[in-house]
């Protein structure tokens, strides 16, 4: 039993957080009509073989999905289109661009803490949400004051994801998907206005860099730029928000680990990596079989939907010793928190940087950081994610 079992008011499909082991690494679920991949080696096999397991799942399985919805969305592309688009995006979204954000992230984090007028606050509302939204807005070149509008679209989409029902309730599922698309198109229209402006008035920002990026004479279309920027806003903010909240939640649940991190700040990056494994923000990824395959001793036919549970694979005892214990000394730590293979999260380095900088500053500025257990943390209801959407803290400066 892990020390935080009683805290996990999470989606019931996240059974491994309650100490329950899936009986098999690969299982078919009659209720969802999907194959569930729980094992670590099986997950690595699927994620590392795009020829056999396609990422182009939405157009194949979501009613009414079309090319416009996913053009430029790296998560939905297979080779060779994926490689071409990722190369173009990588020309603009460079490691140096991310590394250069460190001082800005520190300034924003300190500013958010300076605004606090109490020692009891919600970490997500005060810091973990606004920090990545401000950083991404500044990076793309959109106004900071629009972040609440974008957050509302993203939150509505998350809420709808949590309401998607199983295959035998098609009517309710279709309405939920339609609501998600409406929120997505509002964000896309907003971003397209800024892309159109950058074509006429280039600036020193990521939107301009994406527009100007070129490989072998090819450039991104407006729609591709919009879809990548939208993905960065949505995935970028929620990943960092949950990463920072989850890490504080874990350190609070394991006070010996918190003490070690306070004593030796060189352990902060290791704490973040263990948090990504222990409470993986992105709980699952989806693939479809291009051919009949055998996986984990189980035969899976062609054109089947797979849900690869990254969070469960990160608790597989075949890969991780004592996987239900949060241990910042765990090394190596080859978790799948940012996926694996060609779809390894492009924004992972930014999320890690934001998490490291923000956690260091929180430890510097507060002599005590404790979860307020009188007000229980609120977890996301979507099965696709694992993370706190509120995290009440009691602190001492």
Give every CB contact of residue 265 below 8 A, 6+ residues apart in sequence.
360, 363
For the cut 90, the answer to whether the pLDDT of residue 1 exceeds it is: no
Q: Which domain holds residue 192?
A: 5-396
- If you write DSSP's letter for every residue of 132-148 in order, what string do you get? HHHHHHHHHT--GGGHH
CA pair distance 2, 317, nearest whole angstrom: 14
Enter the pTM of the model.
0.89
For the cut 80, the answer to whether the pLDDT of residue 307 exceeds it is: yes
| pLDDT average, residue stretch 256-263 | 96
The number of domains in the chain is: 1
> Which range among 4-13, 145-154, 209-218, 229-238 has the greatest average pLDDT?
209-218
- Say how far residue 123 (Cα) sits from the centre of its chain: 18
Per-residue confidence at 8, pLDDT binned at 50, 70, 90? Answer: low
Per-residue confidence at 18, pLDDT binned at 50, 70, 90? Answer: confident
CA pair distance 261, 268, nearest whole angstrom: 6
Per-residue confidence at 70, pLDDT binned at 50, 70, 90? Answer: low
For the cut 80, the answer to whether the pLDDT of residue 130 exceeds it is: yes
Say what the pLDDT of residue 87 is.
92
Per-residue confidence at 15, pLDDT binned at 50, 70, 90? Answer: confident
- If you write DSSP's letter for every residue of 57-90 in order, what string do you get? -HHHHSTT--HHHHTT-GGG--TTHHHHHHHHHH
pLDDT-wise least confident of 65-74, 254-263, 311-320, 365-374: 65-74
Q: Where do we find the tokens 């693939």?
A: 287
For the cut 70, the answer to whether the pLDDT of residue 27 exceeds it is: yes
Say what the pLDDT of residue 64 is.
57
Per-residue confidence at 353, pLDDT binned at 50, 70, 90? Answer: very high
Q: What is the pLDDT of residues 46-61, one digit of tens each?
A: 999 999 999 998 766 6
| Domain containing residue 245: CATH number | 1.10.630.10
For the cut 70, the answer to whether the pLDDT of residue 26 exceeds it is: yes
Say what the pLDDT of residue 32 is.
82
To the nearest whole number, what is the mean pLDDT of the chain? Answer: 87
Which of 279, 260, 273 has the alpha carbon at shortest distance from 355?
Answer: 273
CA pair distance 206, 220, nearest whole angstrom: 13
- Helix, strand, coil percentages (3-state) for the chain, rounded to 5, are 55, 15, 35
Q: What is the pLDDT of residues 139-186, one digit of tens each?
A: 999 998 887 787 777 766 655 544 333 334 444 444 445 555 666 778
> Strand, coil or helix: what is 28?
strand
Say what the pLDDT of residue 251 is.
95
Judge contact between 173 and 164, C-beta under 8 A: yes
Give every CB contact of residue 2 below 8 A, 6+ residues apart in sequence.
19, 324, 325, 326
């Amino acid at each position: 039993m892990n020390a935080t079992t009683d805290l996990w008011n999470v989606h019931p499909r996240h059974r491994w957080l309650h100490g329950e082991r899936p009986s098999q690494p690969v299982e078919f679920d009659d209720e969802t009509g999907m194959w569930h991949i729980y094992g670590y080696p099986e997950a690595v096999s699927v994620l590392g073989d795009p020829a056999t397991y396609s990422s182009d799942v939405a157009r194949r399985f979501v009613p009414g999905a079309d090319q416009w919805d996913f053009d430029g969305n790296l998560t939905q592309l297979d080779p060779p289109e994926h490689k071409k688009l990722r190369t173009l995006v990588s020309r603009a979204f460079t490691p140096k661009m991310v590394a250069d954000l460190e001082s800005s992230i520190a300034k924003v984090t300190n500013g958010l803490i300076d605004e606090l007028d109490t020692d009891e606050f919600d970490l997500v509302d005060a810091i973990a949400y606004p920090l990545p939204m401000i950083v991404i807005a500044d990076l793309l070149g959109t106004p900071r004051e629009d972040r609440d509008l974008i957050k509302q679209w993203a939150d509505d989409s998350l809420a709808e994801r949590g309401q998607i029902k199983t295959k035998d309730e098609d009517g309710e599922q279709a309405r939920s998907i339609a609501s998600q698309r409406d929120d997505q198109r509002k964000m896309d229209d907003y971003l397209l206005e800024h892309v159109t402006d950058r074509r006429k008035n280039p600036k020193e920002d990521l939107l301009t860099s994406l527009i100007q990026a070129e490989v072998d004479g090819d450039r991104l279309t407006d729609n591709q730029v919009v879809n990548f920027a939208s993905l960065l806003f949505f995935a970028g903010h929620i990943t960092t928000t949950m990463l920072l909240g989850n890490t504080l939640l874990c350190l609070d649940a394991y006070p010996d680990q918190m003490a070690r991190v306070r004593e030796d700040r060189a352990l902060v990056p290791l704490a973040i990596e263990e948090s990504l494994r222990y409470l993986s923000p992105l709980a699952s990824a989806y693939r479809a079989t291009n051919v009949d395959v055998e996986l984990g001793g189980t035969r899976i036919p062609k054109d089947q939907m797979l849900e690869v549970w990254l969070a469960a694979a990160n608790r597989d005892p075949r890969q991780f010793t004592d996987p239900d214990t949060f241990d910042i000394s765990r090394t190596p730590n080859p978790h799948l928190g940012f996926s694996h293979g060609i779809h390894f999260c492009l924004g992972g380095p930014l999320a890690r940087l934001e998490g490291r900088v923000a956690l260091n500053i929180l430890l510097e500025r507060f002599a005590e950081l404790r979860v307020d257990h009188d007000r229980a943390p609120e977890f996301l209801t979507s099965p696709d994610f694992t993370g706190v959407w509120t995290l009440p803290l009691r602190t001492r400066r």
